Structure 1
Amino acid sequence: MSRHFDPDCQCCPRLAAHLGEVRRRNPDYHAAPVAPFGDLAARLLVVGLAPGMHGANATGRPFTGDHAGILLYETLHRFGFASSKISRGVDDGLKLADCRITNAVKCLPPENKPLTQEVRACNAFLAAELADLPQRAVIFALGRVAHNAVLRALGLRQAAWPFAHGAEHRLPDGRVLIDSYHCSRYNTQTGRLTEAMFCAVFARARHILDASLGIEGTAV
């Protein structure tokens, strides 16, 4: 076990029991806590909700194998954060550049809905990742649960930093928290989140990171 991740975590009885049942029904699935993907030194930390049943829970890599990962990896590639726009599996050779992807909850929750106490139980791992983020980093929260988990991990009041798609929060430590609706199948298929909306928020993250290095941004 490290400060950032425990592959054998059993802190949440409901999640541990659920994963045990998933392993019995799908013996070829990862069906265990899913480790963050990317370098700890990365300046962009993308925080999702939790592994998807047939995505990260199956493959063992965040946002890999499910619908949500399609838009995420296409966008990461478009803005220079990923070596490929398609994430097929842990052995596909895809690399992240100055980016790390994690989840507020590392284990698959029933119906993709972690309980509040499960989010809190996993929060120490997220806090450790945030503590090791470089100065002038950008934290990209996918959805309200991820947004609130970040604030809890940083010891900040949720009411003072409200979630909204496209919101940009300058945190007391100098880092920036940017919010987006989650790139879930439901959000993209209902039009709540469009490709243009997602790209616009990522463009802002790219601009902030480039500006911190004195790089003039270009239109994408």
Structure 2
Amino acid sequence: MSFAPSPLPATEPPLDCPLCPRLAGFRHALRAEYPDWWNAPIPAFGDPDAWLVIVGLAPGKHGANRTGRPFTGDYAGELLYATLAKYGLSEGQFEARPDDRLQLRGAMLINAVRCLPPANKPTPEEIRTCRPFLEAPLAELPRASVFIALGQIAHQSAVKALGGKLPKAKFGHLAEHRMPDGRVLIDSYHCSRYNQNTGRLTAGMFEAVFERALELRPM
């Protein structure tokens, strides 16, 4: 399988990042079971001149952990990439594989936790440990002024990485938070299979988040 390169290679964790022992152990076990998968921290994906940054939670086992590209190969990615295409934030055809030549335009995808957590649940310590790998790419995106957080954990990590205060920035779908330096964070329920299947998140609700982001796009 061909894997997508990072647009910000200097900000990425090492492929054998040892900082979270539980996640590293899980990664090594999966490498033995699925040697053709990516099975490493997931790099950012998108436009290095992005004005919009979408912060996800963590890679899915059969999605990004397999393919090496955020939201690629799992159910959540279908809605996310379709929405990016609808609003002119991508070029090319999304085919759920990292060599499909899809490119983002004005947008960047970064996970709050770069490695696959067992049961899709990172611990608070793992989330804190991985935060520098969210802060580092944000520092390399000078045009980024609008951020979308997919789910509460992504929201919490994004608020902290952007210098905000969590007691003043409570998570809620379509909630909008202005950071101390003027950047804006918009919350969305995560586009997970569960949220879509239960109706907690509809395509219309998800699109409303991106429509608001476009309204805030810098001229």
Q: Which residue of 2 aligns with 1:159?
A: 167
**Do structure 1's residue 28 and structure 2's residue 18 form an aligned pair?**
no
Q: Which residue of 2 aligns with 1:90?
A: 98
Superposed, 1:201-216 pairs within 5 Å as 201-209=209-217, 212-213=218-219
Superposed, 1:120-131 pairs within 5 Å as 120-131=128-139
Segments of structure 1 that go 5 or more residues without pairing to the other structure are: 214-220
Segments of structure 2 that go 5 or more residues without pairing to the other structure are: 1-8
Alignment match of 1:5 (pick from 13, 24, 38): 13
Q: Is the Cα contact below 8 Å between 2:50 and 2:144 reproduced in 1?
A: no
Q: Is the Cα contact below 8 Å between 1:9 and 1:33 reproduced in 2?
A: yes
Deviations 1:129-163 (A, max 9, x none): 22233346111100000000012223322111111
**Do structure 1's residue 67 and structure 2's residue 69 form an aligned pair?**
no
C-alpha distance in 1, partners of 2:178/2:143? Answer: 13
C-alpha distance in 2, partners of 1:167/1:206? Answer: 15
- TM-score normalized by structure 2? 0.92
Report the alpha carbon displacement of residue 110 of structure 1 after superposing the two structures with TM.
0.1
Q: Which residue of 1 aligns with 2:123?
A: 115
Report the alpha carbon displacement of residue 88 of structure 1 after superposing the two structures with TM.
1.7
Deviates more, 1:112-121 or 1:83-92: 83-92
Report the alpha carbon displacement of residue 87 of structure 1 after superposing the two structures with TM.
4.0
Report the alpha carbon displacement of residue 84 of structure 1 after superposing the two structures with TM.
3.9
Deviates more, 1:25-34 or 1:126-135: 126-135
Q: Which residue of 2 aligns with 1:102?
A: 110
Report the alpha carbon displacement of residue 190 of structure 1 after superposing the two structures with TM.
0.3
Runs of 4+ in 1 over 6 A off after TM superposition: none
Report the alpha carbon displacement of residue 128 of structure 1 after superposing the two structures with TM.
1.4
Q: 1:137 and 1:85, CA in 2 relative to 1: closer, same or farther beyond 3 A?
A: farther
Q: Is the Cα contact below 8 Å between 1:75 and 1:85 reproduced in 2?
A: no
Q: Is the Cα contact below 8 Å between 2:162 and 2:179 reproduced in 1?
A: no
Q: Which residue of 2 aligns with 1:16?
A: 24
Superposed, 1:163-182 pairs within 5 Å as 163-182=171-190
Deviations 1:51-84 (A, max 9, x none): 0000000000000000000000000000011114
The amino acid of 2:49's aligned partner reads A
Q: Is the Cα contact below 8 Å between 1:73 and 1:86 reproduced in 2?
A: yes
Q: Is the Cα contact below 8 Å between 1:169 and 1:178 reproduced in 2?
A: yes
Aligned residues with identical type, % of pairs: 52
Q: Which residue of 1 aligns with 2:6?
A: none
C-alpha distance in 2, partners of 1:94/1:111? Answer: 29
Q: Which residue of 2 aligns with 1:54?
A: 62
Q: Is the Cα contact below 8 Å between 1:143 and 1:179 reproduced in 2?
A: yes
**Do structure 1's residue 40 and structure 2's residue 48 form an aligned pair?**
yes
Q: Which residue of 2 aligns with 1:218?
A: none
Q: Is the Cα contact below 8 Å between 1:38 and 1:99 reproduced in 2?
A: yes
Report the alpha carbon displacement of residue 17 of structure 1 after superposing the two structures with TM.
0.3
Q: Is the Cα contact below 8 Å between 1:74 and 1:85 reproduced in 2?
A: no
C-alpha distance in 2, partners of 1:203/1:158? Answer: 24
- TM-score normalized by structure 1? 0.92
